[in-house]
């Protein structure tokens, strides 16, 4: 069968493994965004929110892959702004970047607003009431991230079956990673602020790319990884200090 002809070639398997890895890397910002939004839900709804969010991401990417002709038409200029042609893809990237930028700044503001954490019942009621709104926000940003991912996949691989299998495999991996990442972000407020700052930068990059200024995401991922490593060291140092203070207050402990 034509759809499975790639399985008899080494190049097909290499392309699949490479694309799965790339899809996982490109999905890091999506996982962070979903984890932060889902963290606003009551604990009993978070797993459902994660599954729905990643499920939307997978369906969006598969639908875009199955409509490659339409996706490629998004590169056709629609209008000209200051002498530069603007395509449908550019408009989606700019709109998605603005949405991500607004949402990230809003979440940072919400995280730093005093009194929210103390009002647990009020916060839970607010989260329960906004479950549908959070899923809609996840679906919106999934379209933006999926578009970038699909265009990258189409540029790398010409076999639609490989691309779909890579999407399904990468989302399956992300489903396993989403819960521990989300719980870690929820348990460490400084990591949440760092993740939101990362999403703010990603939003700016999407806007810049929409206007034709391409900045490799590798620079952003490296900066994020370095900042995360430093913050993990800080977290470990704070925990060691807390253990030391606790040990000093225990009768018979060191003075």
pLDDT, residue 142, reads: 79
Q: What is the mean pLDDT of residues 179-188?
A: 80
Supply 245's token pair.
């203070």
pLDDT for residue 129:
44
pLDDT (0 to 100) of residue 247: 65
How many CA within 13 A on the CB side of residue 197? 13
What digits encode the pLDDT tens for the residues 95-126? 888 888 888 888 888 777 765 444 444 444 44
pLDDT digit string (tens) for 11-68?
667 777 777 777 777 677 778 888 888 877 888 888 888 888 888 888 887 887 777 6
Per DSSP, what are the bridge partners of residue 84? 81
Please, what's the b/e burial string for 114-139 (b: 16 or more CB within 10 A of its CB; e: otherwise)? Answer: eeeeeeeeebbeebeeebeebbebbb
Tell me what pLDDT residue 253 has.
52
Look at residue 248 in the predicted model and tell me its pLDDT: 65
> What's the mean pLDDT when you consider all of the chain?
75
How confident is residue 7, by pLDDT bands cut at 50, 70 and 90?
low
The yes-or-no verdict on residue 73 having pLDDT over 60 is: yes
Task: Please check whether residue 21 is in contact with residue 107, taking contact to mean a CB–CB distance below 8 angstroms.
Answer: no
pTM of the model: 0.68
Tokens (6 digits) for 48: 């459902």
Model confidence over 74-87: pLDDT tens digits? 777 777 777 778 88
Would you place residue 4 in the very low, low, confident or very high pLDDT band (cuts 50, 70, 90)?
Answer: low
Q: Which two tokens stand for residue 102?
A: 């607004």
């Amino acid at each position: 069968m034509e759809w499975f002809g790639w399985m008899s070639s080494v190049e097909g398997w290499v392309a699949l493994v490479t694309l799965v890895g790339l899809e996982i890397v490109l999905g890091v910002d999506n996982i962070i965004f979903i984890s932060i939004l889902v963290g606003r839900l009551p604990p009993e709804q978070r797993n459902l929110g994660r599954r729905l969010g990643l499920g939307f991401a997978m369906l969006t990417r598969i639908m875009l892959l199955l409509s490659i002709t339409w996706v490629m038409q998004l590169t056709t200029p629609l209008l000209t702004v200051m002498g530069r042609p603007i395509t449908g893809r550019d408009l989606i990237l700019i709109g998605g970047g603005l949405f991500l930028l607004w949402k990230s700044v809003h979440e940072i503001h919400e995280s730093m607003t005093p009194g929210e954490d103390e009002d647990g019942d009020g916060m839970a009621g607010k989260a329960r009431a906004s479950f549908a709104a959070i899923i809609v926000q996840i679906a919106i940003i999934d379209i933006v991230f999926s578009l970038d991912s699909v265009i990258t996949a189409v540029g790398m691989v010409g076999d639609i079956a490989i691309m779909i299998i890579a999407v399904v495999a990468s989302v399956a991996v992300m489903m396993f990673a989403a819960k521990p990442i989300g719980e870690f972000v929820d348990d460490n407020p400084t990591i949440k602020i760092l993740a939101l700052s990362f999403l703010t930068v990603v939003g700016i990059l999407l806007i810049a790319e929409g206007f034709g200024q391409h900045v490799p995401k590798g620079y952003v991922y490296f900066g994020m990884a370095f900042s995360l490593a430093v913050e993990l060291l800080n977290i470990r140092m704070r925990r060691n200090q807390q253990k030391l203070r606790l040990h000093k207050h225990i009768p018979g402990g060191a003075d």
